[in-house]
């Protein structure tokens, strides 16, 4: 009841503030984005400390994957915002001349942003940048599973913005459910596919547009024609970053049978190089977010033949970087998104076989291909559908703000980053501007004798 009342109050205040029109001004948007940047700068150590406390996130991963990522997104947005906001003139077809046509980007209004726990700072702030840049007001719902980060975010936002502009509501699913009963102008959700479905159903009730940034099983295909050492290093990095709790982490590996052994050998070498002989003692290796997720991963560990890793410690929520081979497609580890430091390795003989395996699953959020062979690359890109990905690398596609980031099918609806965030949080208003200089009678009634002329125009 309390949350219902709180939401009603916040939304009413935001509605009033929005209608006053200040958020539409370029100067206001730039000023507020600058305030956000300064507020993050001032709390950088606290944010990195909270990420360490919630997820054991190494400082470097906290900086590169969260805070630094947001500085880059803010910088990029501030550099381009003026041009994004400009009306876009478009061509006008002959029958409409001498009118002119253009597209205006206008804010949507009241937006709700819901985030998960794995990059709990970045995944709330990046959509917020888009919402603010596009001139909206916003309510943020951080993940309750990263409570220290949620607390820093709450303090940061409350100290920096009036609640009538940007507000935070804290709590778990009950808060999301209360929020979903209300009418928003846009809902931006990042999280799992099942909860994404709950959000989409609730939003449909109000016909609220949604962006859904979801998950899935992202494959990583290693062709026989590749640089095995660099491929192995980049796969190990992308998989075990944040202890595998990355939405675009390679979920499973499909390796050409002829290179499986040397690839596994190189991966074990890089694991030792990255984390030393005992990753539990490495400063550079994160922890599992909760005991529930630890238990889920522990149940997966007992399947397949463990090539390396497998050690775990429930009290510390530690799961060693683990690679398993000989995993059947029916194993639990191949039935659901892993979202942890376990990498099943499957082998294939022909590209048809690899494509067949990927197609057994819903369209993934990411796909990675390691190959020097152009035909292989082109075939996989043409025949497999996925949100986005890399050739000869992992994860890094999401750090280019020129690229839209989002899923397809069950891995998501819509996209963001850079201008795509601005567009996601804007409505494109189409305008034809007429003139009084001429007023051709051809379109007006009575139509008698006009159709033959109109037929000549509509070609």
- Residues identified as active-site: 213, 247
347 close to 260: Cβ distance less than 8 angstroms = yes
> CB nearest ligand NAD: which residue?
215
CB of 3 to ligand NAD, least distance (A): 13
Q: Is 113 in the site for ligand NAD (CB under 6 A)?
A: no
449: left (phi over 0), alpha (psi -120 to 50) or beta: left
Which member of 117, 241, 285, 348 binds ligand NAD (CB under 6 A)?
117
Q: Is 138 in the site for ligand NAD (CB under 6 A)?
A: no
Q: Is 394 in the site for ligand NAD (CB under 6 A)?
A: no
370 close to 223: Cβ distance less than 8 angstroms = yes
Which member of 22, 46, 177, 290 binds ligand NAD (CB under 6 A)?
177
CB of 332 to ligand NAD, least distance (A): 16
Residue closer to ligand NAD (CB basis): 135 or 191: 191
Half-sphere exposure of 61 (CA within 13 A, CB side): 25
Tell me the window of 103-111, 115-123, 437-445, 447-455 that interacts with ligand NAD (CB under 6 A): 115-123
Residues within window 313-332 making contact with ligand NAD, judged by CB under 6 A:
none
One symbol per residue from 418 to 457: x for binding ligand NAD (CB under 6 A), - otherwise; what is it?
----------------------------------------
Which member of 214, 232, 288, 384 binds ligand NAD (CB under 6 A)?
214
Tokens describing residue 7: 């939401």
Residues within window 337-376 making contact with ligand NAD, judged by CB under 6 A:
337, 339, 365
132 close to 108: Cβ distance less than 8 angstroms = no
CB of 445 to ligand NAD, least distance (A): 53
Q: Is 176 in the site for ligand NAD (CB under 6 A)?
A: yes
Tell me the window of 72-80, 111-119, 311-319, 432-440 that interacts with ligand NAD (CB under 6 A): 111-119
H-type helices in 207-256, by residue range?
A: 228-240
The residue to which tokens 């603010």 are assigned: 132
Q: What is the DSSP letter of 3?
A: H
CA angle 330, 365, 293 (to 5 degrees): 60
Tokens describing residue 33: 């984005």
The Cα diameter of the chain in Å comes to 89
Which member of 34, 75, 95, 172 binds ligand NAD (CB under 6 A)?
172
Listed in sequence order, the residues at least 6 apart from 218 whose beta carbon sits closer than 8 Å to its beta carbon are 248, 249, 250, 251, 364, 365, 366, 367, 368, 386, 389
CB of 123 to ligand NAD, least distance (A): 6
Tell me the window of 57-65, 169-177, 236-244, 275-283 that interacts with ligand NAD (CB under 6 A): 169-177
Listed in sequence order, the residues at least 6 apart from 366 whose beta carbon sits closer than 8 Å to its beta carbon are 218, 247, 248, 250, 386, 387, 388, 389, 390, 395, 397
One symbol per residue from 180 to 209: x for binding ligand NAD (CB under 6 A), - otherwise; what is it?
----------xxx--x--x-----------
Q: What is the DSSP string of 355-405?
A: HHHHHTSPPPSEEEEE-S-HHHHHHHHHH---SEEEES-SSGGGG-TTS-B
103: left (phi over 0), alpha (psi -120 to 50) or beta: beta
Which residues form the interface with ligand NAD (CB under 6 A)? 114-118, 123, 141, 143-145, 172-173, 176-177, 190-192, 195, 198, 213-215, 247, 337, 339, 365, 407, 412
């Amino acid at each position: 009841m309390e949350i219902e009342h709180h939401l009603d109050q916040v939304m009413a205040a935001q509605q009033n503030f929005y209608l006053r029109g200040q958020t539409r001004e370029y100067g206001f948007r730039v000023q507020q984005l600058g305030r956000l940047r300064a507020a993050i700068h001032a709390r950088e150590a606290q944010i990195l400390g909270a990420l360490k406390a919630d997820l054991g996130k190494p400082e470097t991963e906290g900086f590169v994957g969260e805070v630094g990522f947001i500085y880059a997104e803010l910088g990029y947005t501030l550099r381009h915002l003026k041009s994004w906001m400009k009306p876009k003139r478009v061509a006008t077809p002959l029958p409409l001349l001498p009118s002119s046509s253009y597209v205006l980007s206008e804010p949507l209004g009241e937006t709700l942003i819901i985030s998960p726990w794995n990059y709990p700072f970045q995944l709330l702030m990046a959509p917020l940048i888009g919402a603010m840049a596009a001139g909206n007001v916003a309510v943020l719902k951080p993940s309750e599973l990263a409570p220290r980060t949620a607390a820093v975010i709450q303090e940061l936002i409350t100290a920096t913005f009036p609640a009538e502009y940007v507000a935070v509501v804290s709590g778990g699913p009950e808060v999301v459910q209360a929020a979903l009963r209300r009418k928003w102008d846009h809902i931006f959700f990042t999280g799992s596919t099942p909860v994404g479905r709950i959000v989409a159903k609730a939003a449909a009730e109000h016909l609220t547009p949604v962006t859904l940034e979801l998950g899935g099983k992202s494959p990583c295909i290693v062709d026989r024609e590749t640089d095995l050492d660099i491929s192995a290093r980049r796969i190990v990095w992308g998989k075990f970053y944040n202890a595998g709790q990355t939405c675009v982490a390679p979920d499973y590996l499909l390796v050409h049978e002829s290179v499986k052994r040397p690839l596994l050998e190189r991966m074990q070498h890089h694991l030792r190089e990255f984390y030393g002989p005992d990753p539990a003692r490495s400063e550079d290796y994160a922890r599992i977010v909760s005991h529930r997720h630890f238990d889920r991963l522990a149940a997966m560990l007992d399947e397949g033949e463990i090539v390396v890793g497998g050690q775990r410690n429930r009290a510390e929520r530690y799961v060693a970087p683990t690679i398993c081979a000989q995993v059947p497609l029916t194993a639990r580890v191949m039935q659901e998104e892993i979202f942890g430091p376990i990498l099943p390795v499957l082998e294939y003989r022909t590209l048809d076989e690899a494509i067949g395996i990927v197609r057994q699953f819903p369209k993934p959020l990411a796909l990675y291909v390691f190959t020097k062979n152009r035909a292989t690359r082109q075939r996989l890109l043409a025949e497999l559908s996925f949100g986005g990905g890399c050739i000869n690398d992992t994860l890094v596609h999401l750090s280019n703000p020129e690229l839209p980031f989002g899923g397809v099918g069950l891995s998501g609806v819509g996209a963001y980053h850079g201008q795509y965030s601005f567009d996601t949080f804007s409505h494109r208003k189409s305008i034809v501007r007429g003139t009084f200089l001429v007023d051709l009678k051809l379109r007006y009634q009575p139509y008698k004798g006009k159709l033959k002329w109109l037929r000549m125009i509509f070609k």
